[in-house]
Amino acid sequence: MIFLYYKPLKNKLPKKLISQNNITMSNEIAIELKSITKKFKDLTAVNKLDLKIFKGEYIALLGPNGAGKTTLVEMIEGVGKPDSGEIKILGLDWKKNETEIKQKLGFSFQETKLIDKITVLETLNLFASFYKKQEKVNYALLATNLESKKNTFTVNLSGGQRQRLALSIALLHEPEILILDEPTTGLDPTARREIWNILFSLKQKGLTLILTTHYMEEAEYLCDRIMIMNQGKFIAEGTLDSLLKKNKMGERIEFSLKTNLKFEKFSFKGLKKFSYDEKTKSGFLEVIDIVSTLPIFLKFLSSKKIKLENLICRKMTLDDLFLNLTGRRLDA
Site residues, ligand ATP (CB under 6 A):
40, 43, 45, 63, 65-71, 110
Could you tell me which of 132, 124, 104, 194 has the C-alpha nearest to residue 165? 124
Judged by beta carbon, residue 136 or residue 214, the one nearer Mg ion is 214
Find out whether 58 and 203 touch, Cβ atoms under 8 Å: yes
Q: How far is the CB of 73 from ligand ATP (least distance, A)?
A: 8
Residue 237 pairs in a beta bridge with 227
Ranges within 231-290 binding Mg ion (CB under 5 A): none
Q: Is residue 184 at the binding interface for Mg ion, with CB under 5 A as the rule?
A: no
* CA–CA dist 203, 198 (Å, integer): 9
Residue 276 pairs in a beta bridge with 283
Q: Is residue 71 at the binding interface for Mg ion, with CB under 5 A as the rule?
A: no
Q: Is residue 108 at the binding interface for Mg ion, with CB under 5 A as the rule?
A: no
From Mg ion, ligand ATP, none, interface partner of 45 (C-beta below 5 to 8 A by class):
ligand ATP
Q: How far is the CB of 192 from ligand ATP (least distance, A)?
A: 16
Instruction: Compute how many other C-beta atoms are within 10 angstroms of the C-beta atom of residue 195.
Output: 23
Judged by beta carbon, residue 97 or residue 110, the one nearer Mg ion is 110
Judged by beta carbon, residue 73 or residue 120, the one nearer ligand ATP is 73
Alpha helices (H) in the chain, listed in sequence order:
15-20, 69-76, 98-104, 120-131, 137-143, 159-171, 189-204, 216-222, 240-246, 290-303, 318-326
Strand 58-62, strand 225-230: pairing: parallel
Judged by beta carbon, residue 57 or residue 74, the one nearer Mg ion is 74
Q: How far is the CB of 183 from ligand ATP (least distance, A)?
A: 12
Q: Is residue 70 at the binding interface for Mg ion, with CB under 5 A as the rule?
A: yes
From Mg ion, ligand ATP, none, interface partner of 159 (C-beta below 5 to 8 A by class):
none
From ligand ATP, Mg ion, none, interface partner of 199 (C-beta below 5 to 8 A by class):
none
Q: How far is the CB of 42 from ligand ATP (least distance, A)?
A: 10
How far is the CA of 145 from the CAs of 157, 197, 263, in angstroms?
Answer: 13, 10, 56
* CA–CA dist 166, 110 (Å, integer): 10
Candidates 40-48, 107-115, 149-157, 215-223: pick the segment binding Mg ion (CB under 5 A). 107-115
Find out whether 309 and 257 touch, Cβ atoms under 8 Å: yes
Q: How far is the CB of 110 from ligand ATP (least distance, A)?
A: 6
State residue 81 phi and psi, 5-degree precision: -115, 135
Judged by beta carbon, residue 68 or residue 250, the one nearer ligand ATP is 68
Size of site (CB under 5 A) for Mg ion:
3
Judged by beta carbon, residue 45 or residue 253, the one nearer ligand ATP is 45
* CA–CA dist 325, 331 (Å, integer): 14
Interface with Mg ion by CB under 5 A: which residues?
A: 69-70, 110
